[in-house]
């Protein structure tokens, strides 16, 4: 037996995965990851050799709504999953979507992922994942079905609030630490939805076609980073078809790209109801089939789990010789590996649920993600409206249903049963006491998967009129609106019907401004919205969905207790027709109900707006602060580099204001004469820098050949040209502070 095998066996005997650290001390010449993988492989192969055909097949499909059978005879535990990505979902009944009625499954709601990515801080993504993983571990979950990294292609997508924005580089940088944080608890992250689930309309069958270049440059990078850098242990396929095959059993996506090119060693799990055929499920890379005969949300079935495509039909095909034992072993091996990394890892921590420390994580991320979009004075004789100077106001009117609505409820599978959710109204009342008065302003109805409550126009008018009357008597108006988790809003299962806010909010905001020009609009949403009133409103805040601590987060930012430092992770177009997905015929979006073609190619989000010179309402990367910053002259270590050399870009930054704040330095690159058309510039690096008042820091970035590459679908590979490049130091995708040029040669 060779030294590596002996060491791996020793590690296995000492308790498996976490015991290999002891082996490392005695044998420093063998890398830890080899010891871990070898030890794990020995345990998997040993278990596999002891299993019957029936036991192996049972690993490949659900035994309940959210679990897979282990192998009780061998002491291999069940695999239990739970929805995320913003908290651990309440316990669901064994064979229905109904809540199980537990009293100990209330969780912490963390900010929606659009808020997380708006922080532009990978360290916070790790904190987020770690806290979420602790709650999942406490609830004895082995897999948390998160995070989502589908690219923001259109602001109508109902699930954009669950994802990490429009830019593949930003999403990739944020998803890796999130995964590592979750998995540090012995809980598997399950990155989703692989791939091109960029709309909810017709999601179960729409067949997406796009160029290889768009696939590799825009939509694959976050998933690739999750696998190659995050070492994610599981992955969920998406509902839609890609080039004629459903993504949950797609030979090109799963066998070729995921398992061959990226060497993914985890398990591929269907979205619930995403499997459609035994032959394709067997042969095209699927490992675990969940939720068959449901729509993923509400539909129940009378079919037993033994009728699943990877259950009795698979078993029969194996016995008849139609399917190979080698293929079954690969599936079972991957599921065993997942179980041993999680449920059988005896050294994983215990976890914790709904603690003060988790509330603090929620608060910290929420504050860091809130984006100050506009902050003007009402006239030239007064200061900016924010932060609120309480000494100026005796009556502060809070308007809007979102000031009191529980925004952790509804939205589809991300709905949460929260231990405590502080509303914006509660947060402001804690700060300002009886100065706060409230008017609902509008009514939206209850969350629903099937539709939306009819709203009585007379009731809506009454709420509108009451708010206007109170606004006339107030010193300051704080409006909380935007979207919510209703069907056709920010919700799984359907796309938004309009880019405008619903329930008469645009008219309400305009009338409130006419009644009282001292008004701040805070939008709670996971999506961009139209703002026909943008020029008239002096202060606008993008407040996202910030979870359990929402009220404390928003009150802290509006009052100035916290300095906003978030920046937009996606562009806000002026009109829907400005968006690239909506700039072509209906086949581009939403498709013809059967097919859809991404006609914009690689020109998604800011790549489209900047290259086509289309002005946005608010650009990607945009965000204001209560302090001011100044950029110094950037410097490059050289003006040309060759091959694998690197350039060092140094940017001096200074806080020129009177309070501490965070400054986001964004670095974009553009190419002078590319072999194929490229966007005018693309984000390649960023860094959030904390600065005290008057403090200056040097921020450095390393530019390599990898930053210059693009995908050439003529040669089916990445390439970098000998050419001149421009590096831009920027405040946003549209605000270039300075630029330098350099030459690259292979």
- Statement: residue 7 has pLDDT above 80: no
Confidence band, pLDDT 50/70/90 cuts, at residue 16: very low
Q: Are 102 and 133 in contact (CB under 8 A)?
A: no
Residue 332 CB partners (closer than 8 Å, separation 6+): 48, 51, 56, 59, 60
- List pLDDT tens digits, range 391-404: 999 999 999 999 99
Closest CA to 368 of 33, 675, 119, 21: 119
The rounded distance, in Å, linking the Cα atoms of 88 and 67 is 15
**Domain presence at residue 455:** yes
Closest CA to 271 of 448, 142, 83: 83
pLDDT of residue 451: 52
- Statement: residue 372 has pLDDT above 50: yes
Residues 232-261 as b or e (16 or more Cβ within 10 Å = b): bbbbbbbbbbbeebbbbbbebbbbebbbee
Average pLDDT over every residue of 472-496: 96
Element containing residue 211 per DSSP (H, E) = none
* Residues 604 and 685 placed together within one structural domain of the fold: no
**Domain presence at residue 216:** yes
Helix (H, G, I), strand (E, B), or coil: what is residue 226? helix
pLDDT of residue 657: 96
CATH classification at residue 93: 3.20.20.300
* Residues 631 and 556 placed together within one structural domain of the fold: no
- Statement: residue 374 has pLDDT above 60: yes
Average pLDDT over every residue of 28-35: 47
The rounded distance, in Å, linking the Cα atoms of 108 and 417 is 8
* Residues 560 and 579 placed together within one structural domain of the fold: no
Share of the chain above pLDDT 90, in %: 89
- Statement: residue 504 has pLDDT above 50: yes
Residue 496 CB partners (closer than 8 Å, separation 6+): 155, 156, 157, 158, 483, 488, 489, 527
* Residues 28 and 41 placed together within one structural domain of the fold: yes
Domain that holds residue 608: 572-626
- Placement of tokens 């242990």 in the chain: 233
Average pLDDT over every residue of 256-282: 97
- Cis omega (within 30 of 0) on the bond before 85? yes
Token pair for residue 485?
A: 């988790």
* Residues 566 and 587 placed together within one structural domain of the fold: no
- Statement: residue 357 has pLDDT above 50: yes
- Statement: residue 638 has pLDDT above 60: yes
Number of domains in the chain: 5
* Residues 619 and 519 placed together within one structural domain of the fold: no
Element containing residue 539 per DSSP (H, E) = strand 539-542
First to last CA, the chain: 45
Token pair for residue 362?
A: 């929620």
Helix (H, G, I), strand (E, B), or coil: what is residue 608? helix
Average pLDDT over every residue of 164-172: 98
* Residues 81 and 44 placed together within one structural domain of the fold: no
Element containing residue 743 per DSSP (H, E) = strand 735-745
* Residues 475 and 333 placed together within one structural domain of the fold: no
Could you give phi then psi for residue 289, rounded to 5 degrees? -100, 120
CATH classification at residue 731: 2.60.40.10
Helix (H, G, I), strand (E, B), or coil: what is residue 13? helix
pLDDT of residue 296: 87
**Domain presence at residue 353:** no
**Domain presence at residue 28:** yes
**Domain presence at residue 590:** yes
The rounded distance, in Å, linking the Cα atoms of 567 and 143 is 31
Residue 324 CB partners (closer than 8 Å, separation 6+): none
What mean pLDDT, rounded, does the chain reach? 93
Average pLDDT over every residue of 710-724: 96
Instruction: Let me know if 271 is a catalytic residue.
Output: yes
* Residues 276 and 128 placed together within one structural domain of the fold: yes
Residue of 120 and 381 predicted with greater confidence: 120
pLDDT of residue 73: 96
| CA contacts within 13 A on the Cβ side of 46 | 15
Write down the catalytic residue from 167, 271, 287, 495: 271
pLDDT of residue 455: 81
Strands 629-631 and 647-655: antiparallel
Average pLDDT over every residue of 259-282: 97
Average pLDDT over every residue of 508-530: 98
Could you give phi then psi for residue 76, rounded to 5 degrees? -95, 120
- Statement: residue 119 has pLDDT above 70: yes
Interhelix angle 168-183/221-228, nearest 10 degrees: 30
**Domain presence at residue 462:** yes
The rounded distance, in Å, linking the Cα atoms of 538 and 557 is 16
**Domain presence at residue 352:** no
The rounded distance, in Å, linking the Cα atoms of 276 and 272 is 11
**Domain presence at residue 350:** no
* Residues 324 and 411 placed together within one structural domain of the fold: no
- List pLDDT tens digits, range 678-702: 999 999 999 999 999 999 999 999 9
- List pLDDT tens digits, range 84-116: 999 999 999 999 999 999 999 999 999 999 999
Single pTM value for the model:
0.94
- List pLDDT tens digits, range 425-452: 999 999 999 999 999 999 998 766 555 5
Range of weakest confidence among 204-213, 409-418, 522-531, 608-617: 409-418
CATH classification at residue 536: 3.40.50.1700
pLDDT of residue 497: 95
* Residues 520 and 639 placed together within one structural domain of the fold: no
* Residues 501 and 593 placed together within one structural domain of the fold: no
Domain boundary among 320, 341, 362: 341
Domain boundary among 528, 554, 570: 570
- Statement: residue 24 has pLDDT above 90: no
Domain boundary among 530, 545, 570: 570
Helix (H, G, I), strand (E, B), or coil: what is residue 447? coil
């Amino acid at each position: 037996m060779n030294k590596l095998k002996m060491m791996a066996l020793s590690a296995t005997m000492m308790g498996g995965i976490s015991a290999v650290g002891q082996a490392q001390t005695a044998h420093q010449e063998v890398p830890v990851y080899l010891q871990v993988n070898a030890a794990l492989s020995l345990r998997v192969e040993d278990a596999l050799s002891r299993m019957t055909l029936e036991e192996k097949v049972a690993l490949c499909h659900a035994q309940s709504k959210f679990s897979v059978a282990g192998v009780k005879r061998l002491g291999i535990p069940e695999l239990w999953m739970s929805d995320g990505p913003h908290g651990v979902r309440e316990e669901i009944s064994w064979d229905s979507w109904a809540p199980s009625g537990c009293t100990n499954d209330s969780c912490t709601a963390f900010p929606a992922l659009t808020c997380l990515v708006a922080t532009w801080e990978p360290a916070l993504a790790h904190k987020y994942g770690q806290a979420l993983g602790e709650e999942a571990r406490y609830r004895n979950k082995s897999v948390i079905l998160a995070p989502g990294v589908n690219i923001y292609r259109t602001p109508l997508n109902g699930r954009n609030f669950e994802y990490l924005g429009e830019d593949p580089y930003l999403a990739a940088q944020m998803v890796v630490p999130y995964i590592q944080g979750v998995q540090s608890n012995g809980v598997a992250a399950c990155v989703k939805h692989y791939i091109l689930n960029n709309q909810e309309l017709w999601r179960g069958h729409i067949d997406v076609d796009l160029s290889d270049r768009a696939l590799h440059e825009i939509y694959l990078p976050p998933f690739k980073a999750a696998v190659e850098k995050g070492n994610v242990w599981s992955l969920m396929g998406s509902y839609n078809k890609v080039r004629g095959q459903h993504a949950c059993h797609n030979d090109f996506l799963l066998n070729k790209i995921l398992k061959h090119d990226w060497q993914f060693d985890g398990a591929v799990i269907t979205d619930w109801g995403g499997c459609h055929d035994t032959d394709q499920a067997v042969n095209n890379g699927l490992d675990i089939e969940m939720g068959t005969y449901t729509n993923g949300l509400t539909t129940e079935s009378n079919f037993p789990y033994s009728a699943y495509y990877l259950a009795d039909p698979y078993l029969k095909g194996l016995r008849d010789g139609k399917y190979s034992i080698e293929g079954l072993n690969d599936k079972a091996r991957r599921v065993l590996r997942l179980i041993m990394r999680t449920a059988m890892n005896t050294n994983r921590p215990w976890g914790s649920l709904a603690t003060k420390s988790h509330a603090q994580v929620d608060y910290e991320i929420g504050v860091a993600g809130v984006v100050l979009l506009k902050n003007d004075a009402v006239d030239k004789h007064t200061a900016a409206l924010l932060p609120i100077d309480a000494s100026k106001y005796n009556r502060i009117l809070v308007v809007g249903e979102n000031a009191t609505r529980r925004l952790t409820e509804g939205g589809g599978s991300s709905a949460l049963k929260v231990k405590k959710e502080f509303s914006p109204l509660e947060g402001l009342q804690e700060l300002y006491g009886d100065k706060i008065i409230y008017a609902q302003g509008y009514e939206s109805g209850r969350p629903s998967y099937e539709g939306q409550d009819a709203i009585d126009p007379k009731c809506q008018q009454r709420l509108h009129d009451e708010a206007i009357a109170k606004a006339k008597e107030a010193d300051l108006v704080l409006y909380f609106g935007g979207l919510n988790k209703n069907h056709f809003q920010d919700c799984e299962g359907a796309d938004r019907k309009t880019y405008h806010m619903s329930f008469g909010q645009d008219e309400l905001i305009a009338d409130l401004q006419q009644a009282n020009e001292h008004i701040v609009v805070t939008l709670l949403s996971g999506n961009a919205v139209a703002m026909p009133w943008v020029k008239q409103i002096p202060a606008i805040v993008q407040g996202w969905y910030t979870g359990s601590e929402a009220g404390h987060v928003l009150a802290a930012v509006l009052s100035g207790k916290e300095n906003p430092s978030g920046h937009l992770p996606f562009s806000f177009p002026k009109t829907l027709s400005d968006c690239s997905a909506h700039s072509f015929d209906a086949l581009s979006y939403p498709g013809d109900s059967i097919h859809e073609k991404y006609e914009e190619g690689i020109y998604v989000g800011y790549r489209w707006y900047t290259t086509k010179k289309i002005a946005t309402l608010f650009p990607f990367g945009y965000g204001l602060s209560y302090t001011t910053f100044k950029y110094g002259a950037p410097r490059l270590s050289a003006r040309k580099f060759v091959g694998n050399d690197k350039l060092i870009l140094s940017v001096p930054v200074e806080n020129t204001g009177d309070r501490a704040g965070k400054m986001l330095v964004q670095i974009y690159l553009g190419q002078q004469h590319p072999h194929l058309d490229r966007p005018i510039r693309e984000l390649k690096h960023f860094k959030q820098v904390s600065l005290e008042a008057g403090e200056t820091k040097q921020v450095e970035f390393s530019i390599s050949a990898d930053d210059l590459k693009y995908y050439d679908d003529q040669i089916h590979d990445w390439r970098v040209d000998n050419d001149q490049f421009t590096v831009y130091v920027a405040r946003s995708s549209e605000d270039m502070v300075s630029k330098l040029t350099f030459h690259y040669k292979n």
